[in-house]
Amino acid sequence: MGFDLNSFLAFIIFGVTIGVVYGIVALGISLIYSGLDIVHFAHGEMYMFGAFFGLVLADNVGLPYPVALVGAMIITAIVGMSVERVFYRRLTRAGGGYTVAGMGMIICGFGMSVAMVNVAYFIWGAEAEPFRANLDYIPRLQFPGDIEVPESYVLTAIISVILMIGLHYFLRYTKPGLAVRAVAHNKDIAYLMGINVPLMISLIFGVACALAAAAGVLIGPMQSVQVEMGYLMLMKAFAAAVVGGFGSLPGAIIGGIMVGVFENLGAAYISASHKDIYAFLLLILVLMVKPSGLFGVEAKVKA
């Protein structure tokens, strides 16, 4: 295919819209990692559960799409906090990070992923479900060169920016946000300072899972909703988180956008058949140049 500037711009625009969704999921992964030193392998399933909750609220309950989005975030946050409290707490309390408990936590995450997929099969079945959101009130964006960005993509970009600003505000300018950052920095010292560490860990899980749910509900109208949707998103979000620097929140977003754009351009100009490779090619390239990722620190040292 020859080079055409309009097409090139279109690929970048669409890459950014999917990239911010990767970024939101990566944000949750990074948040959990920075708070607990663990990689949450069931995060893709939280994204899938969120999408299904949004679908149920919008289609079955009949709530407007934005309300369904918020509802799905709240329900998934509760699910995430419950999972953390019931299944992960003993392991995270035992240390997490580079410890035996941390290894156990990774395996527990895998187990939770499989369990959640099977629960979802049981509840919703294997068939993909259409997510028909009424987005008529959102304008289509027109760019020069006959580039038209559909309503769902515009909404995705808007909601993603709102979520990022909201998270930034929460972490920077609220007391619970400060407590979360303190726990992320050092749990023991945070505990000695009078912070309710277990509660903050639950809060971290809740916020991270709510972000994953938001991503699921945003992607639903574009790609339909199905039980197996979590795995690929998790892989892309991991790539985004690593490219941006594991544990770095701005890095997760930038990494997500980079993955989205890189993968779209790769699909357009190299081969669309192997689209999923590009995210990991980018990951390898970035790690070769800067092993800690673009915004990551060289090593995370705990007191």
Partner 1 sequence: MKLKNRILAGALTVGVCFAAAATTYADDIRVGITMRMVSENGQAYGQMMMDEIKGINEAGGINGHMIKATLMNDECKSDKGVANANKLVFQEKVHLLIGSSCSSVTLPIVDVTAKAGVPQLVPHSTNSKITQKGSEWVFRVPVSGRYYGGVNAKYVGENIGTKIAYICAADAASVGDCANMEKQMKARFGVEPAYRADVQEKEVDFRAHMQKIKSMKVDGILVAALAETMARALVQSYEAGIGEDVRRIGSSSASNAPVPKIAGDAAKGVFFTAAYAAADQRPIAKLFNEMVKARYGIHAPDHDFSQAYDLVRIMEIALKNTALTGSLADDRTAIRDAIANVKGYEGLASGPISFCAAATPQCRDGNRTAVLIGYTKGGEDFETEVLARVTMEEDFGLE
Question: Which positions lie near partner 1, rule CB under 8 A?
Answer: 1, 4, 6-7, 10-11, 14, 18, 125-130, 132, 146-148, 150, 152-153, 222-224, 226, 228-229, 232, 264, 267-268, 271-276
Alpha-helix residue ranges (DSSP H) falling in the chain? 5-36, 43-55, 65-83, 89-93, 100-124, 151-173, 175-185, 187-192, 197-223, 229-244, 249-269, 275-289
Rounded to the nearest whole angstrom, what is the least distance from the CB of residue 85 to partner 1 in the complex?
Answer: 33
Rounded to the nearest whole angstrom, what is the least distance from the CB of residue 9 to partner 1 in the complex?
Answer: 10
Strand, coil or helix: 142:
strand
For helices 175-185 and 197-223, angle between their N-to-C axes, nearest 10 degrees: 100
> What DSSP state is assigned to residue 56?
I
Rounded to the nearest whole angstrom, what is the least distance from the CB of residue 164 to partner 1 in the complex?
Answer: 22
Backbone angles phi, psi at 302, to 5 degrees: -100, 150
Considering beta carbons, is residue 196 or 224 the nearer one to partner 1?
Answer: 224
Rounded to the nearest whole angstrom, what is the least distance from the CB of residue 267 to partner 1 in the complex?
Answer: 5
Considering beta carbons, is residue 110 or 269 the nearer one to partner 1?
Answer: 269
Rounded to the nearest whole angstrom, what is the least distance from the CB of residue 64 to partner 1 in the complex?
Answer: 19
Q: What's the rounded Cα separation, in Å, for the pair 213 and 216?
A: 5
Torsion of CA 76, 116, 44, 225, to 10 degrees: -80
Rounded to the nearest whole angstrom, what is the least distance from the CB of residue 252 to partner 1 in the complex?
Answer: 20
Considering beta carbons, is residue 60 or 273 the nearer one to partner 1?
Answer: 273
Considering beta carbons, is residue 68 or 227 the nearer one to partner 1?
Answer: 227
Strand, coil or helix: 129:
strand
Q: Can you read off the two tokens belonging to residue 40? A: 């949450």
Considering beta carbons, is residue 150 or 176 the nearer one to partner 1?
Answer: 150
Q: What's the rounded Cα separation, in Å, for the pair 124 and 226?
A: 8
Considering beta carbons, is residue 136 or 298 the nearer one to partner 1?
Answer: 136
Considering beta carbons, is residue 34 or 226 the nearer one to partner 1?
Answer: 226
Q: What's the rounded Cα separation, in Å, for the pair 47 and 212?
A: 4
Rounded to the nearest whole angstrom, what is the least distance from the CB of residue 285 to partner 1 in the complex?
Answer: 21
Nearest in space to 8 (alpha carbons), one of 263, 269, 254, 222 = 269
First to last CA, the chain: 55
